[in-house]
Amino acid sequence: MTATPSAPLFDRLVIIGPGLIGSSILRRAMLDRGIARELVASDIDPKVCERVRELGIADRVVQDAKEAVRDADCVILCVPVGVIGTVAAQVAPAMKPGAILSEVGSTKVSVINAVLPALASRPDIAFVPAHPMAGTEYSGPDAGFPSLFENRWCLLLPLENTPPDAVARISAMWEAMGARLRTMTPEHHDRVCAIVSHLPHLLAFTICGTADDLADETRSEVLDFAASGFRDFTRIAASDPTMWRDIFLNNREALLEMLDRFMADAQAMADAIRKGDDTIIVDRIARGRAIRRTLIENHQA
């Protein structure tokens, strides 16, 4: 059962960047007023702001981020990881003392390093990095839906000086969204996400690129006769290019480490196929099947 606070966690909650994640937070919070009394959305793109107004998923829409965050109890940055530091530097001076700043980026070491300078002169702002492990290949304010975070993990990465009360309030918010919580270090987060999220996306983009580079007649057959496996890759590859460019570049060390391991394992599989070593082939397939069953049992598939 989803936890629902008996009183609003925040008087005013501001979402900067109402894309898939940001608009899903807004939609859930509109349904559960125990999360925030007032919901404010902000985006640099006036078309996005207008669409949020049309959808009615925020109480107020303010294009200027500095104006949007005034008197907010909590500000969540839902922008691409490459600009989180820049946006934090813009809004931090306008935030009130005691406010909470959070974000939902898919990389953490780079994001934290980018945000901390913006907070150097604002020790009265609590910074609580978080990463909801949920998403689809769609983007923009129309992509969000209130059940996106149901039974999905939200990883919390509080810093040593993060006030416990701020961590507790952000935790309660994500629990109200339906998420399951886990706390870990930024370095461990980046390695985990490199294998479970970033590498699969890199492979999907690459496989689709390989198919697109085939000779015209073969390429047309790929598109005509695509089986479910290839279709699954194209779903992942339909994700937002700017967002994933930033993720790859901002988590390059962990991603390249996992890519090197994958390439070694792929080469070992190729050698087994070349030599007809069915023991290795069956073992790899069985291990993949077992992982899929575990995901299903954990309600993550």
CATH code where residue 228 lies: 1.10.3660.10
**Tokens 């460019």 belong to which residue?**
245
Element (H, E) at 157: none
Q: Looking at the domain assignment, is residue 2 inside a domain? A: no
Decide if pLDDT at 1 tops 50.
no
Query: What average pLDDT does the segment 239-255 reach?
Result: 93
In percent, the amount of the chain with pLDDT more than 90 equals 77
Sequence-separated (6 or more) residues with CB below 8 Å from residue 195: 258
Confidence of residue 5 (pLDDT cuts 50, 70, 90): very low
pLDDT digits 0-9 by tens, 90-104: 999 999 999 999 999
Contact 233, 204 (CB under 8 A): yes
Q: What share of the chain is helix, strand, coil (3-state, %, to 5)?
A: 55, 15, 30
15 burial type by CB count under 10 A (0-12 exposed, 13-18 middle, 19+ buried)? buried
Q: Looking at the domain assignment, is residue 3 inside a domain? A: no
Query: What average pLDDT does the segment 175-184 reach?
Result: 96
Instruction: Single out the residue in 117, 149, 184 at which a domain terminates.
Output: 184
**Tokens 């290795």 belong to which residue?**
280
Shared domain for 258 and 220, answered yes or no, is: yes
Query: What average pLDDT does the segment 274-291 reach?
Result: 90
Shared domain for 73 and 107, answered yes or no, is: yes
Decide if pLDDT at 253 tops 70.
yes
Shared domain for 119 and 264, answered yes or no, is: no
Decide if pLDDT at 195 tops 50.
yes
Q: Who wins on pLDDT, 223 or 241?
A: 241
User: How far are the Cα atoms of 11, 50, 150 from residue 7, in angstroms, in the given order?
Assistant: 10, 30, 21
Instruction: Single out the residue in 184, 214, 249 at which a domain terminates.
Output: 184
Shared domain for 179 and 238, answered yes or no, is: no
Q: Looking at the domain assignment, is residue 227 inside a domain? A: yes
User: What pLDDT is recorded for position 62?
Assistant: 97
Shared domain for 152 and 259, answered yes or no, is: no
Q: Give 132's strand partners.
A: 154
Decide if pLDDT at 115 tops 70.
yes
Decide if pLDDT at 6 tops 70.
no
Decide if pLDDT at 230 tops 90.
no
User: What pLDDT is recorded for position 291?
Assistant: 79
Decide if pLDDT at 204 tops 60.
yes
Decide if pLDDT at 44 tops 90.
yes
**How many distinct structural domains can be found in the chain?**
2
Helix 109-119 and helix 186-193: axis angle, to 10°?
140
Shared domain for 118 and 263, answered yes or no, is: no
Decide if pLDDT at 70 tops 60.
yes
Question: What is the Cα–Cα distance from 78 to 66, expressed in whole angstroms?
Answer: 15
Shared domain for 106 and 222, answered yes or no, is: no
Q: Looking at the domain assignment, is residue 35 inside a domain? A: yes
What tokens appear for 74 in the block?
Answer: 């909590």
For residue 198, give the DSSP letter. I
Q: Pick the range with the lowest mean pLDDT from 52-66, 71-85, 225-239, 283-297.
A: 225-239
User: What pLDDT is recorded for position 234?
Assistant: 82
Shared domain for 279 and 180, answered yes or no, is: no
User: What pLDDT is recorded for position 231?
Assistant: 76
Domain span at residue 75?
A: 10-184
Q: Pick the range with the lowest mean pLDDT from 126-135, 186-195, 207-216, 258-267.
A: 207-216
Query: What average pLDDT does the segment 210-230 reach?
Result: 71
User: What pLDDT is recorded for position 217?
Assistant: 61
